[in-house]
Structure 1
């Protein structure tokens, strides 16, 4: 079992890396799609983080390697995303594979709504969970010329707790601002703010709150490839912070992300 899991993990990592670095050329698939008259967009990500922090929870103190592949067309998208412990010194068993289905409708140039479902698989821990979400997005705040993107999202985890599910609610407010560091520069300064409200999701108390701050520089390497080093800060409150419940701590962590679209 352990050997097959190791080989499966290596295969998934190599597949995303090959696609990401264009070793598996997408032009052949794109040519076929053009013949069929189907417009599908692909994007991939490769991320490295010093810690794995999710909704205020520290899932792994070890560095993690995270990869994702998204296919989207006509408002629908499917994302395959994974996170792998780079060293496993802490024995956290945080390896994770997510399957995300999403539909996003742009109501106008300002407002969009999203509906989706995520299946979380934790192969090392032999557990899983399931979650629906509903989101509202604003490309900028009305009445303000500064292009601050804002998203309000409600998540409902309905996974069985005996199988690793959270069986709780989570509300997320996320806001981001991006601006060139110089007037004639393609390098952007990206600032992010996250505020989450946890209602009995992986905590025994009634509520937990987490605050997240991020600062990154996005540097375009080509017209389709970019790299973004970042520094991040996570702060837990209420039951999420309580030593008798969530027992989470404030922490800084760093990362570097590569994004490629075709």
Structure 2
């Protein structure tokens, strides 16, 4: 629990140091509804997934909460907190750092073993994005003390986004590092009225390690 409080205190300190330096501040909220919850080569829960989010941003800084709740018989609830900072490097390049606290309802939020913390760095160069993330559980047992690495390269090729990801631990069948996420996705906006359009996205995902293959579509509100 002390480690959880230390990380939370560090997040609040960064928040207090960053926000006063910028002028533009904005609150935003939204809801995505997907036929399935797909993430880094895996599908969670059964049935449609409702994914709400709330975020406060100020300049390059952002802090928020994001969740996913399945409507099927097998629940896959998730309620995360995150904070990050993005830098514009110029020449169509950007760099961002994010710290996420993953929490899965069903256990007490105040217990350290209920949390998985992940620092992540992403570099965008033109149409390419490169991401590195390292997730660590705070518990003492074999599952909650996991330490998993995930690396990803993605490219936007016109209307299609192509993603190639590799990881170890939870991402693969045997725990060894290998390719675990091959995804092809696309999106468009459907005009509902003259002033309102509905964003729609879809993806096909294959995990060569586990053999999992899934298709999902969703809308954003």
Shorter-normalised TM range: 0.7 to 0.9
Which of 49, 67, 75 matches 2:60? 75
| Change over 3 Å in CA distance of 1:77–1:111 after alignment to 2 | same
- For structure 1, the 5+ residue unaligned runs are 1-36, 141-148, 179-189, 242-247
What's the CA shift for 1:61? 2.4
Aligned length: 191
Say which structure is richer in strand: 2
Secondary structure of residue in 1 paired with 2:215? strand
Q: CA–CA distance in 1 between the matches of 2:44 and 2:132?
A: 21
Secondary structure of residue in 1 paired with 2:208? strand
| Counterpart in the other structure of 2:7 | none
TM-score (norm 2): 0.76
Q: CA–CA distance in 2 between the matches of 1:130 and 1:224?
A: 40
Between Structure 1 and Structure 2, whose CA radius of gyration is higher? 1
What's the CA shift for 1:79? 2.2
| Counterpart in the other structure of 1:122 | 104
Q: CA–CA distance in 2 between the matches of 1:79 and 1:108?
A: 26
The CA deviation string for residues 161-191 of structure 1, in whole angstroms up to 9 with x for no partner, is: 636354110001122355xxxxxxxxxxx42
| Counterpart in the other structure of 1:28 | none
The CA deviation string for residues 132-168 of structure 1, in whole angstroms up to 9 with x for no partner, is: 0111112x2xxxxxxxx32101001122363635411
| Root mean square deviation, CA, Å | 2.5
Q: CA–CA distance in 2 between the matches of 1:41 and 1:223?
A: 26
| Change over 3 Å in CA distance of 1:62–1:195 after alignment to 2 | same
TM-score (norm 1): 0.65
Matched, 1:227 2:205: no
Q: CA–CA distance in 1 between the matches of 2:187 and 2:149?
A: 29
What's the CA shift for 1:193? 1.3
Matched, 1:136 2:123: yes
Q: How does 1:30-41 map to 2 (within 5 A)?
A: 38-41=23-26
| Change over 3 Å in CA distance of 1:117–1:54 after alignment to 2 | same
